[in-house]
């Protein structure tokens, strides 16, 4: 058992209220570089469970690793998740958010960076996950907090309420005034902030913030509203109570300030978490977990670590899970908590906690498990549509059989990866959220399954067609030894409209080609169309058998097939063949300040802009629609992200085939 054990908590001096003794879970989310990992470390440190700094600097800089930490703060047990900031691992973050009781959105103290948290705020509001905001790096604050708040508010569905007013000396933020308790605190290096006298000149700003907070809360509290109308000052207890209820209901978003790196505002955040994070039963109800029943856990992330083997990170939704339990037919081979962010064996984990379950072979990410046998299934966030693809092939072809099994496993671990065997190109295509995401998957294939794979740009599924009708005569006459081969036929090969497909028409009259050979002609014509003069499948043609002759002894199915092939090969080459390329309907979502840039970007990729409109329910965002050749989409997401602060996303679907621009008269450009 780790050092953590739940204890009944009692109220503390500030904002005392009913307190939870049940373990709770919180996720730190926010854009890359906003300071989540440092805040994670600071929270653990303040709770007496100091975390090691992430050893691998790449993990820190790329923000691709989800990290779990456990601690107890003032007697309450907490599981804390440091979520990846990289958009390519957004599915992990969304999965984590479905598992926690509270989310802390960490953001930069700059109005222009507010846009970066918009997608998260949308997601949290849509999923009903209670959340607060932590404006980090307050030591670098240049403008006014109210301007940051206004910028953030534009992307939030509920009112933001400021819990702290910064105290400044010159430009520097030296502390804060707590809007509810009305106490002033000065930041102290390496120590909790100290209570100080309210600086002169701050009374007005504090009053203003408090009135603004009370006004928002009064929207859901008639008694409070009456007090405000009667000019009676609401008590702190009333405000604390309302704030907790409204926050849990998603009706307000409280905003805290701090500097994780300097450990400023960390205890204030802890107290807010402790006071305002709902009971674990609330998240369980949101997830659709029935309140009564056997212990139940849900896996939200799967990793394969060196010495611990497969680890399934899970939320315990109900009851207590014990090491050694039989889950889904597999014996639980260890249970880990992460005091200070490092794995430590535990004997059990309780409802409300996040824990890592070891060696649950065959249990996929998103699955539920219960020691009582097959568990009730629960919803799990759907991955975003893939935006990036690579064709992969084993370096050593004899590993091909092993590859499909391994791919199956890695998609079980990470549902945001998709595998597709392309029928036309024969390639195995791996799809996901970007280069880093796919490289991580390829690295797992090597590390876990010993598979070296080469990744290449996937081939485009080109087709071809003809632009001119031709009449072709083919005559097969062979005399070898005894039996000869004879077939003679005339085909009309003509273009059809786009999308009409292949058609074979039999116009033989008077039995000049006997009935029994005609199906062979039709089949051979269709087969011959599978590879046209440019090497691609030929589509949208009509082949008409108009005439022919036969020999009563030497004619056969085989002879007519051969003659058909000859006629098709010759005929298609003369029929002005042209390569067709797939054109996709692409819908790009971006903040509207990037709309015209995106239009230029798509145009440069031979896109035809269809128009743009406001993104439904996304104030300040547009959706640009265009028809773009599939050949131009391979790295679209990379350029799109680099031009839109990483915020642009797109969806695509096949729309139609169109003539590809010729290169030297042949083949796709």
Q: Binding residues for ligand GDP, per CB under 6 A?
A: 30, 32-38, 60, 63, 85, 106, 136-137, 139-140, 259-262
**70 closest CA partner among 311, 339, 335:** 339
Provide, rounded to whole angstroms, the least separation between the CB of residue 140 and ligand GDP: 5
Q: Which of 36/91 has CB closer to ligand GDP?
A: 36
The answer to whether the beta carbons of residues 626 and 586 sit under 8 Å apart is yes
Provide, rounded to whole angstroms, the least separation between the CB of residue 396 and Mg ion: 37
The answer to whether the beta carbons of residues 144 and 77 sit under 8 Å apart is no
SS3 262: helix
Q: Which of 65/246 has CB closer to Mg ion?
A: 65
Out of 15, 23, 30, 63, the only residue in the binding site for Mg ion (CB under 5 A) is 63
Could you identify the residue written with the tokens 């081939």? 459
The answer to whether the beta carbons of residues 446 and 455 sit under 8 Å apart is no
Among ligand GDP, Mg ion, none, the one that 571 touches (CB under a kind-dependent 5 to 8 A) is none
Provide, rounded to whole angstroms, the least separation between the CB of residue 132 and ligand GDP: 16
Q: Which of 37/649 has CB closer to Mg ion?
A: 37
Q: Which of 164/394 has CB closer to ligand GDP?
A: 164
Provide, rounded to whole angstroms, the least separation between the CB of residue 468 and ligand GDP: 60
> Which residues, 6+ apart, have CB-to-CB distance to 70 below 8 Å?
2, 4, 49, 77, 78, 79, 80, 337, 338, 339, 353
Q: Which of 34/312 has CB closer to ligand GDP?
A: 34
Q: Which of 257/297 has CB closer to ligand GDP?
A: 257
Read off the tokens for 630: 């599939």
Provide, rounded to whole angstroms, the least separation between the CB of residue 80 and ligand GDP: 13
Provide, rounded to whole angstroms, the least separation between the CB of residue 594 and ligand GDP: 22
Provide, rounded to whole angstroms, the least separation between the CB of residue 258 and ligand GDP: 7
- CA 590 to each of CA 89, 487, 576, 621: distance values in angstroms, whole numbers, following the listed order: 19, 62, 42, 6
Stretch that binds Mg ion, among 62-70, 418-426, 488-496, 510-518 (CB under 5 A): 62-70
The answer to whether the beta carbons of residues 371 and 325 sit under 8 Å apart is yes
Provide, rounded to whole angstroms, the least separation between the CB of residue 276 and ligand GDP: 22
| Range 24-43, binding Mg ion (CB under 5 A) | 36-37
- CA 222 to each of CA 147, 238, 276: distance values in angstroms, whole numbers, following the listed order: 30, 12, 21
Among ligand GDP, Mg ion, none, the one that 33 touches (CB under a kind-dependent 5 to 8 A) is ligand GDP
CA-to-CA distance for 18 and 276, rounded, in angstroms? 10
Q: Which of 36/155 has CB closer to Mg ion?
A: 36
Among ligand GDP, Mg ion, none, the one that 179 touches (CB under a kind-dependent 5 to 8 A) is none
Q: Which of 39/252 has CB closer to ligand GDP?
A: 39
What are 256's strand-pairing partners? 134
Q: Which of 106/216 has CB closer to ligand GDP?
A: 106
CA-to-CA distance for 88 and 384, rounded, in angstroms? 10
CA-to-CA distance for 569 and 528, rounded, in angstroms? 7
Among Mg ion, ligand GDP, none, the one that 137 touches (CB under a kind-dependent 5 to 8 A) is ligand GDP
CA-to-CA distance for 464 and 449, rounded, in angstroms? 40
Q: Packing angle between helix 400-413 and helix 435-449, nearest 10 degrees?
A: 120
Among ligand GDP, Mg ion, none, the one that 261 touches (CB under a kind-dependent 5 to 8 A) is ligand GDP
Helix (H) or strand (E) holding 573: helix 557-574
Provide, rounded to whole angstroms, the least separation between the CB of residue 234 and Mg ion: 39
Residues that bind Mg ion (CB under 5 A): 36-37, 63
């Amino acid at each position: 058992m780790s050092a953590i054990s739940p204890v009944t908590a009692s109220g503390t001096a500030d904002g005392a209220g009913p307190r939870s003794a049940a373990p709770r879970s919180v996720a730190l989310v926010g854009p890359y570089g906003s300071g989540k990992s440092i805040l994670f470390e600071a929270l653990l440190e303040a709770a007496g469970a100091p975390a090691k700094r992430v050893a691998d600097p790449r993990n820190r800089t790329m923000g691709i690793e989800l990290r779990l930490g456990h601690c107890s703060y003032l007697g309450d047990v907490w599981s804390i998740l440091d979520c990846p900031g990289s958009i390519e691992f957004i599915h992990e973050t969304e999965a984590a958010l479905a598992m926690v009781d509270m989310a802390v959105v960490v953001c930069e103290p700059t109005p222009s960076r507010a846009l970066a948290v918009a997608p998260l705020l949308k997601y949290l509001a849509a999923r009903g996950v209670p959340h607060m905001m932590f404006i980090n790096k307050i030591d670098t604050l240049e403008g006014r907090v109210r301007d940051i708040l206004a910028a953030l508010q534009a992307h939030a569905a509920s009112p933001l309420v400021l819990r702290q007013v910064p105290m400044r000396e010159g430009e520097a933020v030296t502390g804060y005034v707590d809007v509810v308790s009305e106490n002033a605190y000065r930041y102290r290096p390496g120590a909790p902030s100290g209570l100080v006298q309210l600086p002169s000149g701050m009374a007005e700003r504090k009053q203003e913030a408090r009135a603004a907070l009370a006004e928002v809360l009064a929207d859901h509290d008639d008694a409070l509203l009456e007090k405000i109308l009667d000019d009676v000052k609401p008590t702190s207890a009333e405000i604390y109570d309302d704030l907790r209820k409204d926050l849990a209901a998603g009706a307000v978003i409280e905003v805290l300030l701090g500097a994780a790196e300097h450990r400023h505002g960390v205890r204030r955040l802890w107290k807010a978490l402790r006071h305002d994070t709902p009971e674990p039963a609330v998240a369980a109800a949101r997830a659709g977990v029935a309140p009564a029943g056997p212990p139940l856990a849900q896996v939200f992330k799967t990793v394969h670590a060196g010495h611990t083997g497969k680890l399934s990170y899970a939320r315990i939704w109900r009851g207590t899970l014990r090491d050694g339990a039989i889950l889904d037919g597999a014996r639980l081979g260890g249970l880990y908590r992460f005091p200070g962010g490092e794995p430590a064996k535990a004997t059990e984990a309780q409802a409300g906690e996040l824990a890592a379950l070891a060696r649950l072979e065959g249990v996929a990410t998103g699955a539920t498990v219960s020691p009582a046998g097959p568990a009730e299934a629960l919803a799990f966030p759907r991955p975003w549509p893939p935006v990036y693809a690579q064709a992969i092939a084993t370096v050593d072809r004899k590993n091909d059989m092993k590859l499909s099994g391994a791919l199956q496993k890695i998609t079980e671990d990470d549902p945001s990866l998709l595998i597709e065997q392309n029928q036309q190109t024969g390639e195995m295509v791996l799809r996901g959220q970007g280069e880093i995401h796919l490289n991580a998957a390829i690295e797992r294939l090597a590390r876990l399954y010993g598979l070296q794979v080469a990744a290449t740009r996937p081939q485009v599924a080109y087709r071809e067609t003809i632009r001119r009708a031709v009449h072709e005569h083919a005559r097969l006459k062979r005399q070898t030894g005894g039996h000869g081969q004879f077939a003679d036929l005339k085909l009309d090969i003509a273009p059809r409209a786009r999308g009409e497909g292949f058609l074979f028409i039999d116009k033989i009259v008077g039995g000049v080609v006997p009935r029994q050979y005609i199906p062979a002609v039709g089949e051979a014509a269709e087969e011959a169309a599978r590879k046209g003069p440019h090497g691609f499948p030929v589509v949208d043609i009509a082949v008409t058998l108009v005439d022919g002759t036969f020999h009563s002894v030497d004619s056969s199915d085989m002879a007519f097939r051969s003659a058909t092939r000859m006629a098709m090969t010759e005929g298609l080459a003369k029929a002005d063949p042209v390569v067709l390329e797939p054109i996709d309907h692409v819908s790009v979502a971006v903040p509207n300040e990037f709309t015209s840039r995106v239009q230029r970007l798509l145009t440069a990729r031979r896109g035809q802009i269809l128009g743009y409109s406001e993104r439904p329910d996304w104030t300040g965002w547009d959706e640009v629609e265009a028809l773009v050749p599939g050949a131009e989409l391979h790295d679209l997401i990379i350029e799109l992200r680099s031009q839109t602060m990483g915020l642009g996303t797109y969806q695509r679907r096949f729309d139609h085939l169109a003539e590809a621009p010729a290169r030297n008269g042949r083949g796709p450009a």
